[in-house]
Amino acid sequence: MVIGSWGDLVFEVTGNIARTFQELSQKSSGRWAEHETINTAPLSEFLGPGLDELEIAIIFTTMLGVDPRESYEGLRAAVRKGECHPLILGGVPLSDNLWRLTEISGNSTVFGPRDGEILWMELSVTAKEYN
């Protein structure tokens, strides 16, 4: 079952693979200007919406049919190339705009005993709307 996607990264759970996220936090904002005035409080002016941001916690593990190193390197390449894609969850885009990955960080905590293969990697992925 497909849960969602961003470009080539497909969040899915099947009989052989479990590639999904643990947490999703979103942030929306507005853009405001404050104009200084004499003898009164500043005047506030709404300039428009800001760009939404989100953070996703992902665990990639070979125990669930996912190659952690390959998955990390794919996301790393997307960050470095500046790729922008729709972010789809539950069949619905999270925004009318595309999303760009602004940062990824990963911690590898379990390694294969013979060749040092990464068996488990926890990632934090930060994305921002692209307008």
**Cα–Cα distance between 96 and 105 in angstroms, integer?**
27
pLDDT band at 87 (very low <50, low <70, confident <90, very high): very high
What phi, psi does 124 have (nearest 5°)? -120, 120
pLDDT at residue 128, rounded to an integer: 97
> How confident is the model at residue 17, as a pLDDT?
85
How many whole angstroms from its chain centre is CA 42? 37
More confident: 114 or 33: 33
**Cα dist. 108→77, 118, 123 in Å?**
18, 7, 9
Share of the chain above pLDDT 90, in %: 67
Can you give the residue ranges of every domain in the chain?
A: 2-28+48-130
Longest dimension (CA), the chain: 74
> What mean pLDDT is predicted for residues 3-30?
90
The pLDDT assigned to 93 comes to 95
Average pLDDT over residues 112-118: 82
What is the structure's pLDDT at 40?
96
**What CATH number does the domain located at 2-28+48-130 have?**
2.40.30
